Amino acid sequence: MQIQDVLSRQGQTVYDSTGSKIGKIEDIFVDDDTQQPEWIGVDTGGIFGSKHVLVPIEGAEPDRDGLKVAYTKDLVKDAPDIGEDEIPIDREEELYEHYGLRQLMERTRSSRSEPARGDISETQTGRPEARNRSESPEIVTHEEQLRVGARDLEAGRVRLRKHVETRPVEEQVRLRQETAHLEREEINEPASSAAFEDEEVEMELRRQEPVVSKETVAKERVGLRRDVEETSETVRDEVRSEEVDIEGDIDETRGRRSGGNRDPFGSD
């Protein structure tokens, strides 16, 4: 990975080879000769105690919101401790051995034994050469953003309750009643042998009286239904933001950028 790509990821999350979170990118260590990033200083947030954890950039690749390294969390946890801003050569070799990067270590040693631009460097004399951490002093500013939404609250209750009321009613009904009256008809016929004997006849008279019965029928269906009315309301609050004040001399013509990442070594 190119140094600019790695530097742009400072503060992002570091995941191990299984996808477990290790911490966040705190420092980037580069090779003094090649100016290529080789080690990531990881802020574990106390996962491994106060240990300053270093992970090789070799095999790392972008993943989600950060970098995924090629090593497990347990291997990273057991790596040699580095409590300095520079990596001594002997300690770096221990790191190479720990992460199984012997071939990369030999290649690094070989590159140090070659003259650079015809000059003799401290590496050639066998003196331990430390790697410097590449970082620029920065302040991260923050601001609050107002997020307004709505939540449902109970505004009241409506209840339907059924009860029984009794009211008087009346209806007209027509009734019949039978009565009797005499009818006389003159006849002139010979009499039978039953003449002058006692005789009796009878007729049944009928009448009607009111009969009341009750039948229950469904009369009306009554239900509740919600009506929604929408209104708008203005919400007022205060949000905070951070600004940066500069104290001291600064060349305002340098360091401006319209996008991307500024060269951490101050190159134009």
Q: What CATH number does residue 115 fall under?
A: 3.90.50.10
**Tens digits of per-residue pLDDT, 64-120?**
788 899 999 889 888 887 766 678 888 888 888 888 887 666 666 555 544 333 332
**Tens digits of per-residue pLDDT, 243-252?**
888 888 766 5
- Give the domain extent around 45: 3-134
Q: Is 31 in contact with 84 (CB distance < 8 Å)?
A: no
Is residue 125 assigned to a domain?
yes
Nearest residue to 31 via CA among 113, 135, 132: 132
Is residue 206 assigned to a domain?
no
Is residue 79 assigned to a domain?
yes
Is residue 187 assigned to a domain?
no
What's at 226, amino acid-wise? R
CA–CA distance, 18 with 7 (Å, rounded to integer): 23
What confidence score (pLDDT) does residue 76 get? 87
Is residue 76 assigned to a domain?
yes
What confidence score (pLDDT) does residue 170 get? 92
Buried b (16+ CB within 10 A) or exposed e, 155-183: eeeeeeeeeeeeeeeeeeeeeeeeeeeee
The domain tally of the chain equals 1
Is residue 181 assigned to a domain?
no
What confidence score (pLDDT) does residue 168 get? 94
**Which residues of the chain have a pLDDT value below 50?**
113-134, 255-268
Using CA atoms, how far residue 31 sits from 3, 59, 114, in Å, is 11, 17, 15
